[in-house]
Amino acid sequence: MSAKGVLVRVSTYAALIVMALATLFPLLWVTSIAFMRAPERFAGTPPLWPDHPTLVNMVNIVHQQRIGYYFLNSLIVAAATTPLSVLVAGLAGYALAQAKFRAHRLVSWIVMFAVLVPNQALVLPLFEMFSAVHLINHYAALILPAAANAVSIVLIQAYARGIPADVLDAARIDGASEWRTFFSVVVPLMAPMLAAVAVLTFVVSWNDFMWPMIAMQKVDMQTLPVALASIDREHYQNIGLMAAGATVAILPMMFVFLASQRYYLRAVSAGSLTD
Amino acid sequence: MARLELQRVSKLLANRQVVLQDIDCTVNDGELISVVGPSGCGKSTLLRCVAGLDKITSGDIRIGGQRVNDLPPQQRNVAMVFQNHALYPHMTVYQNLAFGLRVRRVARAIVDARVRRTAVRLGLEALLGRYPRELSGGQRQRTALGRAMLREPGVFLLDEPLSSLDIPLRAEMRRELSALHTALGTTMVYVTHDQSEALSLGQRVVVLADGQIQQIDTPDGIYKEPSNRFVAGFVGWPPMNFLDGDWLENSGLDAHCIDYGIRPERLLLQPSSSADAFIAGRLERIESFGGEWQVEISRNGSRVIARVAPNPELRRDNELRLWFRREDLYAFDRATGRRLQG
Ligand SMILES: Nc1ncnc2c1ncn2[C@@H]1O[C@H](COP(=O)(O)OP(=O)(O)OP(=O)(O)O)[C@@H](O)[C@H]1O
Ligand SMILES: [Mg+2]
């Protein structure tokens, strides 16, 4: 390798390492704070590393704050939202990309428009709607609005355009119904993008704050981010407790991302769909 | 196995552009018919209409006597081999072959037996575990063919299946296809833009241009008795020479409102009898094809090509006479392009 090549490589890696550290540092610090004793956490800026590691914050957050309860609420909502949303976006995105139907252009425009509408603008109408059907304080209030996600549809539509039309026609001639073609041919070909959308949906659902706060007014039904925010309000400046909550909240996302990393990266780096 | 009938089939696009116009054609049970025409003339559209992938605007399509106009592709009992193979990229060769049978819920053991039998027949048995991206062009071709064969269709539709192969492989696959047709005895429609492929493979040939059938006949008939100027110029290589008035000024032929044509292999260096006529021009080019030469003469900017035996006496830039028998001339109406007999 030439001297210039080495230089380029070294500076690329240096930049990547700096960015990785900048991203990871707050996560590591929060995790570290979660294991600190009370005196340390009152010493102004907390140190980077606990002198005497302790589980007291973890025990507190689990026992006193019943964090497991809220964790479960979040998990139920995210676990139900993700497959539902992927299915809806998969069908809609594929149809918009490959099917010929009359209102095609109109529907495409509506979806594109929906991408532009900020979530905050939806809170009020959503609340009216879900109140009207008495679903406030039900999991459905969080799951249903997330089931049709315009961004996911647009992502999948763009990816599904790459499926060769002849391959779909071949399946039809082979005798496959439209559903069979979708599940046996389209879904496997879109797998990387479906996985990416699944991860995205899970993370968005897990972190969602505003709508869950409004839709889940019973404490029992609150999701983790909402519950953590109220801990902050009740135990002002108990940084250790907050950090422990945040650490617990990070875990499933770490898990989801690591488990799907392979597919996720393939979609982001846009693999080719043709043989 | 089934007979395929097209009756006054037309297809218009949404913008009213005519892609197929009044197609009338019957493919007999077990016949191999080839469809040939220039790019964009509607060959693929014709196959897609028969398969049910495109809807026709008017007319009737019958397969085995049953009117299939309103049947979806799944129910038409046809198999199709696509120009670019269209294999399922995420399935192995085995799964590609088996898919059609699995869809129709054929028992696993039967599927397995039939897939393996077809694989052996096509020389694919060692490749069953591979994915399409791991195959050569010829192997993909065979897989696509196998997938269609396993359907045991009434009608086999092939859309330029050999166009992506190199020339030696193409000749080999062409022989295999021909043998396959003999063995299967299935009705086949073979689309190609290569006229030599159409003539060598088809029992009959359909010549298509601008969405209209120009002629349907046996390969010999198409070659010897082209029905119009288009067919005459499209079939045969090098193409038929068309001679305008200048070429024929000393032949005593009436070139008024008539285009004359002659095939390059019918032009001779020596007269074969005293009744022969000749054309004369400057020898522009000699191209050797081993046992045969192609020579090109020109006159007032128009060119004529002849296929002749190698002859060392020929010199570039010399005047050359090419002789022909008058009955080898084709005559076409200049206005309509229609062939004039006699
Ligand atoms: N979906 C479509 N939209 C617009 N025009 C189309 C469409 N499908 C076909 N056409 C037009 O119909 C005509 C016939 O197309 P077709 O693909 O049947 O030609 P072809 O004979 O198969 O050509 P080739 O030898 O290049 O494959 C062309 O002029 C093409 O532009
Ligand atoms: Mg074509």
Residues A3 and A124 in one domain: no
Cα B329 from Cα B276, distance rounded (Å): 11
Residues A7 and A142 in one domain: no
Q: Judge whether A201 lies within some domain.
A: yes
Residues A5 and A129 in one domain: no
Residues A29 and A103 in one domain: no
Residues A94 and A203 in one domain: yes
Q: Provide the mean pLDDT of chain A.
A: 87
> Using CA positions, which residue lies closest to atom 10 of ligand 1?
B19
Residues A41 and A136 in one domain: no
Residues A131 and A19 in one domain: no
Question: Is the domain covering B241-340 a CATH 3.30.70.360 domain?
Answer: no
Per-residue burial over B235-251, b if 16 or more Cβ lie within 10 Å, else e, is bbeeebbbbeeebbeeb
> Using CA positions, which residue lies closest to atom 2 of ligand 1?
B13
**Quick one: tokens of A100?**
């010929």
Cite the residue boundaries of each domain of chain B with CATH code 2.40.50.100: 241-340
| CB B39 less than 6 A from any atom of ligand 1 | yes
CA–centroid distance, residue A92 to ligand 1 (Å): 28
Per-residue burial over B99-132, b if 16 or more Cβ lie within 10 Å, else e, is bbbbbeeeeeeebeebbeebbebbebeebbebbb
Rg (CA), chain B: 24
Q: Which ligand is nearest to the CA of B23?
A: 1
> Using CA positions, which residue lies closest to atom 6 of ligand 1?
B13
Question: Is the domain covering B4-234 a CATH 3.30.479.30 domain?
Answer: no
Residue A269: pLDDT band with limits 50, 70, 90: low
With an 8 Å Cβ cutoff, are A185 and B103 in contact?
A: no
Residues A242 and A127 in one domain: yes
Which 50-79 residues of chain B touch chain A by CB within 8 A?
51, 53, 72-74, 78-79
Q: Judge whether A61 lies within some domain.
A: no
Residues A79 and A148 in one domain: yes
Which of B86, B90, B133 has its CB closest to that of A166?
B86
- The amino acid that residue A262 corresponds to is R
Tens digit of each residue's pLDDT, chain B (342 residues)? 689 999 999 999 989 999 999 999 999 999 999 999 999 999 999 999 999 999 999 999 999 999 999 999 999 999 999 988 999 999 999 999 999 999 999 999 999 999 999 999 889 999 999 999 999 988 999 999 999 999 889 999 999 998 878 888 888 889 989 999 999 899 999 999 999 999 999 999 999 999 999 999 999 999 999 999 999 999 998 999 998 768 887 777 777 788 899 999 999 999 988 888 889 999 999 999 888 999 999 988 889 999 999 988 888 889 999 999 989 999 999 999 999 986
With an 8 Å Cβ cutoff, are B89 and A171 in contact?
A: no
Which of B79, B85, B133 has its CB closest to that of A173?
B79
Chain A residues within 8 A of B48 when measuring between CB atoms = 169
Question: Is the minimum CB–CB distance between B103 and chain A shorter than 8 Å?
Answer: yes
Residues A189 and A240 in one domain: yes
Beta-carbon count within 10 A of A55 CB: 11
Which 176-205 residues of chain A touch chain B by CB within 8 A?
176-177, 180, 184-185, 188-189
d(CA B148, nearest CA chain A) in Å:
8
Residues A133 and A204 in one domain: yes
Q: Judge whether A275 lies within some domain.
A: no
Q: Judge whether A151 lies within some domain.
A: yes
Q: Judge whether A273 lies within some domain.
A: no
Last residue of a domain, one of A28, A54, A80: A54
Q: What are phi and psi of B217, to 5 degrees?
A: -165, 175
Query: How many residue contacts between A and B have a Cβ separation below 8 Å?
Result: 68
Strands (E), chain B: 4-12, 18-27, 32-36, 58-63, 66-67, 78-81, 155-159, 187-192, 204-209, 212-217, 241-243, 258-262, 277-288, 293-299, 302-308, 319-324, 330-333, 339-340
Quick: pLDDT tens for A193-244. Answer: 998 899 999 999 999 999 999 999 888 899 999 988 888 777 766 788 888 8
Domain extent for A3 = 1-54
Q: Judge whether A211 lies within some domain.
A: yes
Residues A38 and A70 in one domain: no
Nearest residue on chain B to A190, judged by CA atoms?
A: B90
CATH of the domain at A169: 1.10.3720.10
A163, pLDDT greater than 50: yes
Quick: pLDDT tens for A37-90. Answer: 765 555 667 777 877 788 888 888 888 778 888 999 999 999 999 999 999 999
Q: How many domains does chain A have?
A: 2
Query: Tokens 């399922």 identify what position?
Result: B88
Which numbered atom of ligand 1 lies nearest the CA of B211? 14
